[in-house]
Amino acid sequence: MNLLTQGVPDKRIETAFKHLSLYEAALGLAAYTYSEIRHTLEVKEKKWTDLVSALAPDSIKEIEYCTKHNTWRMLLQLIGHYGEDDLAGFVTYINALHNSDLIFKALPPVGTSGQRKLFSIGDRDAFESLIKEYKNDSFFNPYLQFLKEVNTPILKKHLLTLMSDWYRAWAINEQTRYETAMIKERQRINKMKSPAKHLYQKVLGDSFQPPIGVTKIELVPHLIYRPWTIQTMHDDRLIVHYPADDSSLLDESDQAALVLFHKALADENRILLINRLSNKAHSLNELSQELSVGKSTIHHHLAILRSAGIVVLKDQRYSLKSDVLKELHMRSMNRLGLDSYE
């Protein structure tokens, strides 16, 4: 989702700001292996090509395996458990895990902790219970099936090879840019009167209600998956990977935002969608019926409009952010050296 609904922090919930280059690399894997979303990202296709071209053929095979089984999700879970920002330390941490511990920690918090513990040691009842609970979930059902059937030593080797090779290729071209942006992001946050509260509200919004049982929210900025936000759960922790603020991205952020804006406008169907949404919020079904266009096509165009920040989704209804539309129009005019269209 491009924006999460958010709320005033519960005093019982700790809010923390955190950034790890390991997370950034794993999110890069998530983005690269999700071809359907790559066109909505700010990262240009050439950057992915350059990154992958630096990998050995054996590493490419690991990426193909990652694409098939979504093992990037396991890396996000495992990095969350590890909690530090050191590749060598992460490798040591993974190597030290027993087979059942690796499966347990790779599992998202589905079911109960007891169910996951039993699942990790091969208990059939726990497996069948979770599979039944997530039978209609197109992501977690095959994810659980895979973890049940996989040869754990082979999975461990895959995760270590994948993360090590991908991280090193990413670091060659992106680590300096990432670290510079994170310094600016932290400086920006530290200038706030109530940093944790302000950041929470900016990232999550005033109506956000944390899942039951959450005692800590970690807000983790990223560059590589901009403009999208991803959230993962680690038992009582909610980890929110949010796009770093434009001001933290040197001089490139304004240009990237304007490119997304003009890309969003470069299609007749998207112009029609903006026109419909300028009057009132619509559901996907309503837009499909009004424009006589298939839902999958409408969803594709809405994803592009959302990636540009001019459309938001709330309560299954899409609405136009007129203020953002006007701001991006003005920024476009300024970039072109024009005051207005004449």
Chain segment 2-43, per-residue pLDDT in tens = 333 223 345 568 888 889 999 999 999 999 999 888 988 988
The β-bridge partners of 243 are 222
Whether 164 and 91 have beta carbons less than 8 Å apart is answered as yes
Residues 165 and 271 in one domain: no
**229 within domain boundaries:** no
Q: Total structural domains in the chain?
A: 2
Same domain, 189 and 276: no
If asked whether residues 275 and 182 sit together in one domain, one would say: no
Q: Does one domain contain both 188 and 296?
A: no
Q: Which of 143, 159, 193 corresponds to the end of one domain?
A: 193
Domain boundary among 178, 193, 208: 193
Question: Cα(317)–Cα(6) distance, rounded to whole angstroms?
Answer: 17
Q: Are residues 128 and 259 in the same domain?
A: no
pLDDT tens digits along 205-243: 666 777 788 888 899 999 999 989 888 888 888 899 999
The answer to whether residue 60 sits within a structural domain is yes
Q: Is the pTM of this model over 0.85?
A: no
The residue range of the domain holding 272 is 252-336
Domain boundary residue among 172, 193, 214?
Answer: 193
In a domain, 342, yes or no: no
Query: Is residue 312 one of the residues assigned to a domain?
Result: yes
Q: Give the 3-state DSSP-derived string for 187-215, with helices as H, strands as E and coil as C.
A: HHHHCCCCHHHHHHHHHHCCECCCCCCCC
To 5 degrees, how large is the angle CA 338–CA 340–CA 342? Answer: 105
CATH of residue 310: 1.10.10.10
CA dist., res. 117 & res. 111, Å (int): 10
pLDDT in tens, the chain (342 residues): 333 322 334 556 888 888 999 999 999 999 999 988 898 898 888 889 888 988 889 999 999 999 999 999 999 999 999 999 999 999 999 999 999 999 999 998 888 889 999 999 999 999 999 999 998 988 999 999 999 999 999 999 999 999 999 999 998 888 888 988 898 888 888 887 666 666 666 677 666 777 788 888 899 999 999 989 888 888 888 899 999 887 777 555 556 677 777 778 888 888 899 888 988 999 999 999 989 888 888 888 888 888 778 888 888 889 888 877 787 777 777 666 665 444
Residues 13 and 300: their CA atoms lie apart, in Å, by 36
- Same domain flag for 172 and 38: yes
If asked whether residues 261 and 179 sit together in one domain, one would say: no
